[in-house]
A and B are shown apart, each in its own frame.
Chain A
């Protein structure tokens, strides 16, 4: 074992030195209309990601309009002044690219990933819909149906999903902006009108509420000119306000049981309100998560899956289920989702998880374990940032949430600077049983519909 430790440190030393070589170039600027522009060049493979992010998500929805941010995201593919319906898909794919859009609690993003000769084409498409989206009754009707189908496919017909998207936020949050369903209700979707679409577009889809990130095989001066050409004359709008997302200070422990007719194996969600983004506790809790659930030697795998043979599958992170540590914008929880062996009860599982946390609260992490977790984090970060799309996503988050896209090169260091004492302190402060929400998802006989019952705790 001694030999292993020496070689481990040696390896880390070299790796840290070389790891520093892996620097992502970041060139950021702002157009006169307020559009933030971030360019990052990498000419290794001739592809480019054009990534457009808007600073609006499901948490900006109004009561009676749940699911609207996502419905609107669909409308963005329905055509604009010079790009007829269906042409956005057609143009990107027929030029060898892929594309998508997605709606999150705090942002909505759109990307086009193409062979690099088609950079101008992607900018033409993205600018045309920012400038002149086609808002018609027919498009809205058609996309209401597509969104309802998406809800049936991804949520209503899947085990665990309805509980997670509709019930879990009501346990974790008290403020309606955060506690309402991100995918929304059919009733609200049906009642939204093209006036709502037009208002949402004007308010939030303005250049000053967005950032444009280009990553990959590009030349900076030419790319800048193209961006100015296509986006420079889109008018800005009054800056929309972020909704008030504040939560009551005294989080009460709570628990709910959901009977899921599609589930065959019992599931459990356990969450705790999390810290402010990029605060010292945020980094420390991210390290707590890595120790508990990161890698094959994580405590959950060694102690619960292997040792107690109770947990079958698990996932967890700061911001689970809708956010990741990179796009975490408070208020968000640290939450854990697990499937477990039905020979155990839900209460036993909650205790086992809390006991693992208690170990982190009471004993400092030893140096070897800490070193291993850090090496993993650094390697995972490099693996993740290999693709131009992932680089663009990270740059966009640092631009939007922090106003500093260059954090992509330093955020890891902040994460790795966490000490065992900070880990212990953050676990104590945030992950205690008296500020814990629990959603128990029990398999129910097939054919029924999902039901919830609250239990006092």
Chain B
């Protein structure tokens, strides 16, 4: 509170000086206010279910997440997308509730209940008005333990998922991401980002049920409850009643995760009629648990997060090649990938790709200047605060800790760790992971229009957009 009072006074002083404001310079402002997360309390049920409770009384709402280590990396090789299908169908019928009853119950509590699978985790997410917390938890327990995957719901999922997959495949960014994952992750379980029509065709209640029984078990799960909560003892009693009898089960060995060494490869996905070329340049990178994570995250941000980043200023603002130009550091639990992404008009594919490669190279060849580094650190610290504005935002951050197996103090120490990154550390990790020599280059566009330009960068494999 002391800090806060100080900067309020500072603003007041500025306000009183109204007539003499100097418009030629940004105003003097006080330091960034401190903020403490709402307290997080953790416990575990005897069956192994982890429980994380956070009192957040700002809004009359509650948010829950039930996180399982059961993402798409656990899909059997011949069944890509199985975890997605399980997630989509969990709320489509249980032993005692039809799909319709589930949807009417969630809507009647002003809430929602749905699940989705990422590369590592399958998360069931729900929210409701705070008075309905115990009803929400009841429903959550039911879909988790008793989902039956009714035949007609499975058939409908299959039919619509195939259509949606076709719609996704009409988007150039999907095609680029698919190829990049294959290039970065080889034949490891992270290499697929979507099911195939064939795998969708093979889905049935038996295989879905068996995935649920294997992975959706308490010793593989953490329950987050955030919002206006009842007294802790009362809430734990409700949770124990609902989830206490859930049986533990031995988990299968995790999948083998052999990530190939990065190497330069150029793939052109031919999409006739494309009026622009989607460029993705990327490779594998360390996880969030690596000591290299914070230097690389800050370096990635200097390079390609936001409108003040190098790649945006150059590719869009200076050259006018593209509307969007950014880099992304996609962290997963066991490996990550780093990529520069932009979409340029066909005529400028060559200079644009050269400019992207040059920006990547620059990160490795010189240290980031002090002022630029401070700006980026401020940016990351401020965005961190903005993300916590809503209950859902807080839940997403806490769920990420579960998904990626991060230390409990990850959020509390985040800003300090960002601030402690040195220019030399960024240059070191840039040499290893941002310099583009071993990057895969994926271009999606009309090969008849851009093929010759792309070939100037090396040997090109042309594949058809399916």
A interface with B by C-beta (< 8 Å)? 4, 7-8, 11, 14-15, 18-19, 21-22, 44-47, 81-82, 85-86, 89-91, 93-99, 113-121, 124, 128, 142, 145-150, 152-154, 156-159, 217, 219, 221-222, 225-226, 228-230, 232, 261-265, 295-297, 301-302, 305-306, 309, 312-313, 339, 341-342, 371-373, 375-376, 378-380, 382-383, 386-388, 446-449
Contacts and interface: CB of A to CB of B under 8 A. Distances in A.
B324 interface: yes
Interface string B1-26: 00010011001101111110101111
Interface residues of B, number: 98
Q: Which 6 A-B pairs have the closest CB atoms?
A: A96-B382, A379-B110, A94-B375, A225-B15, A296-B103, A145-B320
Given A297-B103, A309-B159, 5 more contacts: A11-B135, A94-B308, A115-B382, A157-B275, A386-B58
Interface stretch (B126-134, B201-209, B215-223, B403-411): B126-134
Given A45-B35, A93-B306, A121-B29, A219 B167 contact: no
B366 interface: no
B343 A15 contact: no
Interface string B132-174: 1001000000000000000000001001100110110111100
B390 interface: yes
Contacts of B26: 91, 121, 124
Contacts of A306: 99-100, 156
B274 interface: yes
Contacts of B291: none
A152 B343 contact: yes
A165 to B, nearest CB: 14
A22 B59 contact: yes
B39 to A, nearest CB: 15
Given A265-B166, A301-B103, A387-B390, A93 B379 contact: yes
Residue among B61, B107, B166 facing the most chain A CB atoms (10 A cut-off) = B107
A302 B103 contact: yes
B277 to A, nearest CB: 10
A46 B109 CA distance: 31
Interface of B: 4, 7-8, 11-12, 14-19, 21, 23-27, 29-35, 58-61, 91, 99-100, 102-113, 127-132, 135, 156, 159-160, 163-164, 166-167, 169-172, 271-276, 306-308, 313, 316-317, 320-324, 343-345, 374-376, 378-383, 385-386, 388-392, 465
Contact of B14 (A120, A219, A296, A372): A120
A11 B17 CA distance: 52
Contact of B389 (A7, A21, A297, A388): A388
Contacts of A302: 100, 103
Residue among B19, B30, B382, B390 facing the most chain A CB atoms (10 A cut-off) = B382
A157 B274 contact: yes
A69 B15 CA distance: 34
21 contacts: A18-B60, A45-B35, A45-B388, A85-B317, A94-B375, A96-B378, A96-B379, A124-B27, A149-B323, A149-B343, A217-B33, A226-B15, A261-B273, A312-B160, A339-B163, A341-B160, A371-B108, A386-B61, A386-B391, A388-B389, A447-B272
Nearest to A46: B33
Contact of A120 (B11, B323, B345): B11
B323 A146 contact: yes
Contacts of A449: 273
Nearest to B91: A296
B60 A19 contact: yes
B382 A95 contact: yes
A263 B168 CA distance: 10
Contacts of A388: 389
A178 B48 CA distance: 60
A410 to B, nearest CB: 18
B129 A15 contact: yes
Contacts of A154: 323
Contacts of B382: 47, 95-97, 114-115
A114 B12 CA distance: 19
A19 B128 CA distance: 13
B273 A446 contact: yes
Contacts of B169: 264
B112 A219 contact: no
Contacts of B343: 149, 152-153, 157
A149 B275 contact: no
Contacts of A371: 108
Contacts of A98: 306, 383, 386
A153 B21 contact: no
Contacts of A124: 23, 26-27
A380 B24 CA distance: 44
A422 B465 CA distance: 51
Given A115-B385, A121-B27, A297 B107 contact: yes
A145 B345 CA distance: 10
Contacts of A113: 386
Contacts of B166: 264-265
A116 B6 CA distance: 13
Contacts of A97: 379, 382, 386
Nearest to B34: A46
A117 B31 contact: yes
B165 to A, nearest CB: 9
B160 A44 contact: no
A22 B362 CA distance: 51
Contacts of B59: 22, 382-383, 386
Contact of A265 (B61, B163, B386): B163
Contacts of B23: 81-82, 124, 128
Given A115-B32, A312-B164, A295 B60 contact: no
A45 to B, nearest CB: 5
A146 B163 contact: no
A219 B23 CA distance: 22
Given A45-B385, A229-B21, A95 B103 contact: no
Nearest to A44: B58
